[in-house]
Structure formats: C-alpha cells, structure tokens
Chain A
Amino acid sequence: MTAAPELSEARLAQAETIDALSTYQFGWSDSDAAGATAKRGLDEDVVRGISHLKDEPEWMLERRLKALKLFERQPLPTWGADLSEIDFDNIKYFVRSTEQKVTSWEDLPDDIKYTYDRIGIPEAEKQQMIAGVSAQYESEVVYNSIREDLAQQGVVFLDTDSGLKEYPDLFEEYFGSVIPAGDNKFSALNTAVWSGGSFVYVPKGVHVKIPLQAYFRINTENMGQFERTLIIVDEDAYVHYVEGCTAPVYRSDSLHSAVVEIIVKKGGRCRYTTIQNWSTNVYNLVTKRTKAEEGATMEWVDGNIGAKVTMKYPSVWMMGEHAKGSVLSVAFAGKGQHQDTGSKMLHLAPHTSSEIISKSISREGGRSSYRGLVQVNPGAHHSRSTVKCDALLVDTKSRSDTYPYVDIREDDVTMGHEATVSKISDDQLFYLMSRGLTEEEAMAMIVRGFIEPIAKELPMEYALELNRLIEMQMEGAVG
C-alpha cells in the first residue's frame, strides 16, 4: 500500500467537464441569408451550374453529368431503412454562403463565426489540440488552416474544391477510384452534385502526429449536403482524420449524402473518426470505403448518434497481403430514429485480417440494425476476421436487429462471430440508484459504460462529446 492511487486529477476533471456540459444543446439556427435563395430540385442545369461556379475542368463536369444519369436510373435500395419519404425535388443541391475562402477565424462572417464558436472549434484550435481545421459551412469549405510544420512536410489538407484546382493530377487519378459513381444511388448523387469536403495527402513515411479535424454543419432548411472527401496516405505514412458534425433542428427533412474515399498505400495507416449528431430530421446516407494495399491498415471509428435515418457501412478492401481493416462503431437510436449501420470487409489477398466491433443502443422505440458483410475471396488464404456486435435495449419498445452476412470462398480462413443483445438490468439500476443516482443518471452511466470500449479509442475532446451526446439522448429516458 505504498503507491499513490491511480486517480488522477485529469480523470476527475474529465468527469466534471462531462457534468458541466450535460445541458448542452445544438438546436439553434443562424440567419439564413445565403440559403433562402438557393434553387430546389435537381436537373442538368443545376449540375452544370455547380461545376461552372467552381470553374472546374471539363472532365469533372462530364463525371458529374454521367453520375446524374446514373442517379436518375438507379432505384432506391429496397433493403435497410425506409427512404420512401425523401423528396428529392424539395432539396437545395447547392448553397454558397461566402464568396471566398478564409484562413483565419477573424475573417469569417459574424453569423458563421458565432455558429462555430458555439461548437467550440476556435478554442480547440487555440489550444493547439488539432493539426488543422477544415470547417464546412453549407456547401463550401470556408475555413481551412494547417500548421506550418505539416505544410513543410508536404502534407496537404485542403477543401476538396481547392484540392481539385491545386492537385489536378492526383485528383484525376484517384477521384472515384475507390467508390465509382455507379456504386449506389447515393454515391451517384454525390458525384453529380458534390461540393466541399476534405482533400488530404500524406507523403511517404510522414506521420501526422495530431489529428486533422473537420467540422460539418448544415444550416439551411432542406439543404442537401454532399461533401466529398478524398484521402491518400502514401507508403508508410500515417494520419488520423477526424470529422464531426452537428446540425441544427429544422422542421422538414434534409439529406446528407457524403462520399469518403481513402487510399492507404503499402505499409501506411489511416484512422478516420466520425461522430455524427445530425438533428433527427436528417437522412444520413453515406458511402465510405478504403482500399488498403500491402501491409496497410485502415481503422474506421464511427459514432452515429443523430439523424432520422442513417445508412452507413464503412468498408475496407484489403487489396494487398497483410492488409488490415477495422471498424469500431457505436449507434444510438432514440425515438423515431433508425440507425442501419455496419461494415463491409473484403479480403482480396492472403494474410489479411479484419475486425468489426459494433455497439448499439436503442430506446423509446428507436431501431438499430447491424448489417455487415465479410467476404473472403479465392486466394485470400490465411485471412482472419472477427465480428462482435452488442446491442443494448433501454426499454421494451425499442428494437435491434443483426444482419451478419458472410461470404467465404477460400478454405484456409479463421472467422469469429459473436452477437449479444442485452437489457439494462434491474439489479444494475438498483445498485446505482441505491448510491443516490437518479434513474436517468443510472441509465446514462450504464450506457456510457457500454460504449466505453469505443469512447476510449477517441481523442479526448471527442470522447467528451460522445458522452455528452449520449447524456442528451438519455434525457427524459425515464417516463
């Protein structure tokens, strides 16, 4: 009994911060001068208009127009969540909020600055906690900064539009190479009308030590947000990209349909972290995929707390020997929400390994589904895969489903699959309440404990945000 307790002040400060922030809300909106005038509905003119405004090369316009055709031809998916209520004619496909990009907070228009101040980015930036911030406000990235040292190492962190202008060759080589327009209806839509998003290039052998962060907000009623992100991690390089998003609450439904393409070259490693907290009228239909070359590692950390409907299955195509893919995901489905999430792992080379860990929480009639595919192709011998999904039901009217698909075309593989569904037990609640916690606090604590294996993988401020969001979600859990 000589060592001092491991209880550090930092730990306690964290707990206190969580307490202090538990009343946080995101349901405000700024004056909507830019959004009010944008046109609703989608046709060739809209697509041409976007491309023209951005002064894009001809090949990009052609890609967009082709994608538009594909979008029009493809039916809505018949599996997953109910998308029948999306009114594509009532969506604004492009909203431009500021004329030029800016590189310092002071230059942002006041209402936008105010919005970001409420999310707290400038503080984080000032504390030098992040390597660069790319904030997307409405359809275009209006703010972009990167530390000098990163720039000196040759790391590129730009909004996607600038990426296209400044790195046309890289762009033409990789854009759509992981997720072709015709992959699904929503990747086609995104390819036709994309704007904003991030473009990241990490040169050979460069390790970006601190996370690159981007924040996204939708602020215009009925506005679709179609950001497009392209990340290229060169050989033996490493980057952690963090995307967070929060949308204010509006009356009618809006659509968020992003495409994220990542290439991790030989021996490289990429981690991509998202916590989305769209307001509960947003359809969040996102395609995320990585091609991992020999010995490369891709890690998706994915939190889905908000949105009315989420369909998102971050994927890794393991193209080279010893490539690794992992997905750690947590989904929270509250009242009126359907989180249909999971992953796709494609083993295309020998000695590849994948891991999917999925945790979901459903309450108040919310529905969460795990939908995953593990495919081991001929020749991908000695591949390994582990899938573990745990569902927690907070009450009896909520729902959780598991759709684990496995497609093995090779003999010599190791597969593991585990799935559990649990309820918050009376005895756990009783134990915590007998220590003075209200029922609501007790439930929130049990839920936070349930997702802790994922929260601990997040950067500190995101772990705090996740806890805070879970707490907000659990408010009124006792009725």
Chain B
Amino acid sequence: MAKLEISDLHVSVITDDTSKEILRGVNLTIDAGETHAIMGPNGSGKSTLAYSLAGHPKYRVTSGTVLLDGTDVLSMTVDQRARAGLFLAMQYPVEIPGVTTSNFLRTAATAVRGQAPGVRQWLKEVKDEMESLQMDPDFAQRSVNEGFSGGEKKRHEILQMSLLKPKIAILDETDSGLDIDALRIVSEGVNRYKADSAAAGEAVGVLLITHYTRILRYIQPDFVHVFVAGQVAESGGSELAEELEADGYVRFTGQAVPA
C-alpha cells in the first residue's frame, strides 16, 4: 500500500539570477486511501509543494526528504516519479499545440503502464471516463488543452488521473474555475477513482489543495492542513476547514487578510 512521506522539506524557487526560499520545512505523511486537504493563503507555497513533489526543474530542494513507499522520490526524474505512481493535476495545465488529446493520453498511458493498452479496451476506457466527466468526445481530437476553457482543462486533468491510475494524486486547485455542476462532476470523478482504486486493492492517497470548503463537501477529507508561509501551521479534521471558512487565516498569519 502506498505511502508518501514528506519530511522537513525546504524548497527554493529559482529565477534568472536569484533563488528564494518558499517551503520552510514541510512535514506531511499521506497513507493509501487517505485524503488530505491543504488550505492556505495565496502565495503560501501550496503549488510550490505540489510542483516540488512532481519534480519541476524551477524548484530546488535544499533539504529534507520525500519517500514513496520508502523509496527516495527526490532523486527521480519527473517521468520516473510519474511511473512510480505520482500524479499532479495542475493548477494551470499547459497547451501542447498540434498534439491531439487522444494521442497524448495513449502515449502517457503507455508510458505509465509500461505497455500499450489494447486498442479496443483502451477506446472503451477513454470513452467511459469522458462520458462520466461529461466531456464532449470532440476533445479527443483537439490539441492538448489548446483553447480549452478553464473548467475543461480541469476535467481533462481528472480524466488523466483516472486513466493513469496513480498511487498518490496531488490535485492543485482542481476546483477553481469550475461552475457548480462541473464541481460536482469533477468531485464525483475523484471519488469514483478513490473507490475504484480501493476496490482494486491500491487505494489512492489524495492531496487536495483548495481555497474552498465546497469541494470538501463532495470529497470528504480525512485531514485538513493549514498551510502558511511555507509550512503546515496546523492539522485537524474537516472541522478545521469550517473554521477557516468562517474566520479566515487571521489566527495563523496574525494579521487580517485585506478585504
């Protein structure tokens, strides 16, 4: 069963000539089947954590460890991490002009699964998932993310998650920019994958980054973490999310959030 252990993680962001420390000692353990929500003010480093776990080259780990089932993740390349079972649904998915979504999905599935899925079974898999996420079949023939609306990009991220079947899924603000129906559809997609993976004996661990409690009514978190200034400031259950919604982050930042 999968386990992601983040210990005392320090990360700096590298710009042209400077580097600035963003993560200042993150500790977090995600076990198989668990759902962890991270909430925190803008700029506190949530996406930085997500990118660092996935291995984005702009972020340099200066100290700390990340282990997936006891194996060092930080020494792996980005693609090795993906093949080891780590998945990041991005806050801002990138456009790849000229590459059809269907080709992209199949290439990715082939890479992560280690062999090309059989054509018939694959077609059905994609069709079913797209139907569940209420994505128009036309998306398959469009260039990856090109001209997709914000909400369509997010559905596409969840589609990828359900096809790539990760052990640990990090969802960075997947709920932002979704309309009410889309939020439900996407949440159901996540829950479906949680249930399916559990049924297959490989229950996924989820790290869900969000600003809103609304998604947490669909996707029940086992833990809620308040992320402030590059650290986990406090951890609790879903009641913590309700408190944040009511009071904001003032208790943690020591200052009122400007209106």
Q: Can you list 20 pairs linking A and B with CB atoms under 8 Å apart? A: A1-B134, A6-B137, A7-B102, A7-B123, A15-B107, A16-B119, A426-B57, A426-B58, A428-B96, A430-B56, A431-B93, A433-B82, A434-B55, A434-B82, A435-B82, A435-B112, A445-B99, A449-B98, A449-B99, A449-B143
Within 8 Å CB of A445, what residues of B? Answer: 96, 99, 104, 107
Q: Is A104 an interface residue (CB 8 A)?
A: no
Asked whether, in the complex, the Cβ of B79 is within 8 Å of the Cβ of A3, the reply is no
Complexed CA–CA distance, A432 and B82 (Å): 10
* A439 & B79 in contact (Cβ 8 Å cutoff): yes
State the majority secondary structure of interface residues on A: helix
Interface pair A431/B99, CB less than 8 Å apart: no
8 Å CB contact of B111 from A13, A15, A437, A446: A437
- Check if A9 is an interface residue, CB within 8 A of chain B: yes
Q: Is A450 on the interface with B (CB-CB < 8 A)?
A: yes
Chain B residues with CB below 8 A from A12, complex form = 102, 106, 119, 122-123
| A448 sits at the interface (CB 8 A) | yes
Cα distance A5–B126 in the bound complex, in angstroms: 9
A11-B100, A448-B98 are known contacts; what are 15 more A-B pairs with Cβ within 8 Å? Answer: A9-B123, A425-B94, A427-B94, A430-B55, A430-B56, A430-B57, A433-B77, A434-B81, A434-B82, A437-B107, A439-B79, A448-B99, A449-B98, A449-B99, A449-B143
Q: Check A431 against B111 for contact (C-beta < 8 Å).
A: no
Q: Name which residue of chain B comes closest to A436, CB basis.
A: B111
Closest to B140 in A: A7
User: For residues 107 through 147 of chain B, which have their beta carbon under 8 Å from a beta carbon of chain A?
Assistant: 107-108, 110-112, 116, 119-120, 122-123, 126-127, 130-131, 134, 136-138, 140-141, 143-144
Check if A1 sits within 8 Å of B131, measured CB to CB. yes
For residue B160, CB closer than 8 A to chain A, the reply is: yes
Question: Does A19 lie at the interface of the complex (its beta carbon under 8 Å from any beta carbon of B)?
Answer: yes
Measured as residues with beta carbon below 8 angstroms from the partner, the interface class of chain A is 35 or more
Annotate A214-241 by CB proximity to B: 1 below 8 A, 0 otherwise.
0000000000000000000000000000
Contact with B along A1-30 (1 / 0, CB 8 A): 101111101011101100100000000000
Q: Residues of B with Cβ closer than 8 Å to A?
A: 54-58, 77-79, 81-83, 87-88, 90, 93-94, 96-100, 102-104, 106-108, 110-112, 116, 119-120, 122-123, 126-127, 130-131, 134, 136-138, 140-141, 143-144, 160, 164
Q: How far is the CA of A432 from the CA of B99 in the complex (A)?
A: 11
Nearest chain A CB to B75 CB, angstrom units: 15
Given A7-B102, A435-B108, A449-B99, are A19 and B116 neighbors across the interface (CB < 8 Å)? yes
Q: How far is the CA of A449 from the CA of B102 in the complex (A)?
A: 13
Q: Does A49 contact B (CB under 8 A)?
A: no
Q: How far is the CB of A14 from chain B (nearest CB, A)?
A: 9
- The residue of chain B having its C-beta at the shortest distance from the C-beta of A3 within the complex is B137
Knowing A430-B57, A435-B164, A438-B79, say if A6 contacts B111 (CB, 8 Å): no
Beyond A5-B140, A7-B137, A452-B99, whether A435 also contacts B123 by CB under 8 A is: no
Q: Given the complex of chains A and B, what is the CA–CA distance between A451 and B110 in angstroms?
A: 23
Q: In the complex the two chains form, is B79's CB within 8 Å of A437's CB?
A: yes
Residues of A within 8 A of B77 (CB): 433, 439
> Which residues of chain B come closer than 8 Å to A433, judged between CB atoms?
55, 77-79, 82
Which chain A residues border B119 with CB–CB below 8 Å? 9, 12-13, 16
